[in-house]
Amino acid sequence: MSNGLLDIRNLRIALNGNKDQQVVKGLNLSIEPGQTMCLVGESGSGKSLSALATMGLLPPVLSPIAGSIKLKGEELLGASPARMRELRATSMSMIFQEPMTALNPVARVGQQIEEVLEFHTNLSQSARRKRVMEMMEGVHLPDVEKMYRSFPHQLSGGQRQRIMIAMALVMGPQLLIADEPTTALDVTTQAQILSLIRELREQQGTAVLFITHDMGVVSEIADDVTVLKLGEVMETQNVENLLRHPQTDYTRQLLQAVPSHVPRMARAEGSKEIVLSTDKLCKTYGGGGIFTRAREVKAAQDVSIKLMKGRTLGIVGESGSGKSTVARCIMRLIDPTSGSIMVGGSDIATLKQRELKPQRKKIQIVFQDPMRSLNPRIEVGQSIIEGPLNFGVPRAKAMARARELLELVGLPASAIDRFPHQFSGGQRQRIAIARALAMEPDVLVADEAVSALDVSVQAQVLELLAELQQRLGLGILFITHDLGVAAQICDEVIVMQYGRVVEYGPAAQVLGAPQEDYTKALISAAPGRDWDFANFRPFSEAPLAP
């Protein structure tokens, strides 16, 4: 067992070297040459820290206090900084989640790759440049001469991640550590990057330690899987076995929480009352400046939607599709260029701020990142009652209502005078929902509201939304990039691309039997679409529906 490429034995990482504050508690992991090991876990599982420890890049407050990490038999814990620098890029490399921030914004990307060769080889400058070009072609970047001279902000997300991969593999290391490398990318780009990693692994024989929280990605790329929970290994298995026969309850729960790509059964038609509709909504940016000749960008074009009371309408699309623009126009956080927005019988598209104010009550929004959407300096109760107070509700009454709402979203009423940082991500999103509900809206706009949450928490929040909808008759406009989530929560789905509506219809039809090529491409790019994770089998083996 000890002749693997990478052998991690009983690794313990602790905060401030204090053994009572362990964040990784005895990790064992072994990777053979050319193999892909997925390290799976939710936030706080210690998966990224284990990877950083291997690279010797842990932040100073965290340190390994026990165990061993051996690369090709060489102990890395306690190796000199100079030796670690030698090993990085030549024997082991790492790519990260967000390629935009992982690249130096003020240096040309070609030079950033070349820098690796500069420090690890004796190649002449022209030889280095040649090697960089080859590598950039190897990761299928177009027009490499031009690309070499580009800055990171001039590239797309997928191109940036390709640059990162080229940089990581230019020295041909035997181990590539990939920390959520596709999480920040669109689904079609994600599919391309995954296939690139597979291809390079086969070409170069690189072993991959692939860190992810996404079971779909796991099913696409893993040979073996190690499941981590709060710093402890739950189980290590071959991927097929893990998906079919998980050994621990935790893995089972993790799999069952993955939203299936098969749309849920359509709900019986409910109310015919339209709570929100838009007609030919358009939003155009840029153009028409005196000094600037900015290109006109049509962020949303002729978007017409209809949302009934008690129903959920999903808008899905990749980044830049205009789905968030539509949500923000509807909220009047930005002003639409043309078209109408009917909320409860009045057109709010062109109302002035003063006239708009009474209408705002009817439509509320929950944002993606609950870490940033709640003011960190004020207590959650204050955040919740701020809206009602503005509409003249007496403070005592608003506070009483806030307590009820916290209980409604599954938090103790005593949470009311605590601060946001005292809650977990999922709890914060519950608070954000309570805040929105405090206004007693007819429509709730959820803009990627579960995207930043772990999959088990995501499932709970989706359940909460469904329950609140039943109880309060809310119309929900649900913006998401995740087709699985859309399939599980939406009655109707709109697919958007480049600011236009591509397909619009009942969820079962759009996601189950798509008509448009773009929708089909989106669905076929979704990782793990063939797996029915919750039932531990591929869809192909599912018993036929009655």
Partner 1 sequence: MLGYILQRILAAIPVMGFVALFVFLLLRLTPGDPAAIIAGDTATPAQLEAIRTSLGLNDPLFTQFFRWIGQLFQGDFGTSIISGKPVIELIAARMEPTISLALTTIVLSVAIAVPLGVIAAWKHGTLIDRFVMLLSVLGFSVPVFVIGYLMISLFSMQLGWFPVQGFKPIGDGVGKFFHTIALPTFTLTLLYIALIARITRTSMLEILGDDYVRTARAKGLPESRVLMRHALRNCSVPIITVIGIGLALIISGVVVTESVFNLPGLGRLTVDAVLARDYPVIQAVILLASLIYVVINLLIDIAYVILDPRIRYA
Q: Which residues bind partner 1 (CB under 8 A)?
A: 55, 57, 84-90, 93-94, 96, 98, 101-107, 115-116, 119-120, 151, 153, 164, 167-168, 291-292, 294
Looking at beta carbons only, is 62 or 103 nearer to partner 1?
103
- 8 A C-beta contact, residue 435 and residue 355: no
Shortest reach from residue 385's CB to partner 1, in Å: 35
Q: Are 50 and 24 in contact (CB under 8 A)?
A: yes
Q: Of 135 and 313, which has the nearer Cβ to partner 1?
A: 135
Q: Which is nearer to partner 1, 182 or 312 (CB)?
A: 182
Closest CA to 379 of 334, 435, 337, 425: 435
Pairs from 457-462 (Cβ < 8 Å, separation ≥ 24): 457/42, 457/424, 457/425, 457/426, 457/429, 458/257, 458/259, 458/485, 459/257, 459/259, 460/410, 460/426, 461/426, 461/429, 461/430, 461/433, 462/259, 462/488, 462/489
Q: Could you give the maximum distance between any two Cα atoms of the chain, in Å?
A: 75
Cβ at position 332, least distance to partner 1 in Å:
27
Is the Cβ–Cβ distance between 260 and 533 less than 8 Å? yes
For the bound state, the minimum distance from the C-beta of residue 297 to partner 1, rounded and expressed in Å, comes to 14
Minimum CB distance to partner 1 smaller for 120 or for 306 = 120
Nearest one of 447, 315, 434 to 368, comparing CA atoms: 447
* Cβ–Cβ < 8 Å for 435, 423: no
* Rg over CA atoms, the chain: 25
C-beta of 178 vs 234, nearer to partner 1: 178
Alpha-carbon span 147 to 150, nearest angstrom:
5
Tokens for 98, please give them: 């967000």
Nearer to partner 1, 163 or 380 (CB): 163
For 110, counting Cβ atoms within 10 Å of its Cβ (0-12 exposed, 13-18 middle, 19+ buried), the class is: buried
Q: How far is the CB of 82 from partner 1 (least distance, A)?
A: 9
| DSSP notation for 46-101 | SHHHHHHHHHT---TTEEEEEEEEEETTEE-TT--HHHHHHHBTTTEEEE-S-HHH
**d(C-alpha 192, C-alpha 189), whole Å:** 5
At 307, list the tokens. Answer: 């949302």
Q: What is residue 18's DSSP assignment? A: -
Give the shortest CB-56-to-partner 1 separation in angstroms. Answer: 8
d(CA 401, CA 428): 18
Instruction: Check if the beta carbon of residue 394 is closer than 8 Å to that of residue 388.
Output: no
Query: Which C-beta is closer to partner 1: that of 147 or that of 468?
Result: 147
CB of 55 to partner 1, least distance (A): 6
Rounded to a whole number of angstroms, the minimum distance from the CB of residue 466 to partner 1 is: 37
Closer residue to partner 1 (CB): 178 or 446: 178
Q: Which is nearer to partner 1, 171 or 485 (CB)?
A: 171
Q: How far is the CB of 85 from partner 1 (least distance, A)?
A: 4
How far is the C-alpha of 147 from the C-alpha of 145, rounded, in Å?
5
Which is nearer to partner 1, 103 or 487 (by Cβ)?
103
Q: Which of 295, 288, 281 is nearest to 336 (CA)?
A: 281
Which of 27/89 has CB closer to partner 1? 89
CB 61, min distance to partner 1, A: 11
Closest among 27, 466, 74 to 259, alpha carbons compared: 466
Least Å from the CB of residue 528 to partner 1: 27
Backbone dihedral angles phi then psi of residue 276, each to the nearest 5 degrees: -150, 135
Identify which of 446, 518, 450, 443 has the alpha carbon closest to the alpha carbon of residue 484. Answer: 450
Residue whose CB is less far from partner 1, 14 or 167: 167
Residue 211 beta carbon to partner 1: minimum distance, rounded to whole angstroms: 14
Q: Minimum distance between the CB of residue 105 and partner 1, rounded to whole angstroms?
A: 6
Nearest to 179 by CA among 208, 218, 201, 211: 211
Rounded least distance, CB 48 to partner 1, Å = 11
Which of 169, 411 has the CB closer to partner 1? 169
3-state secondary structure of 503: strand
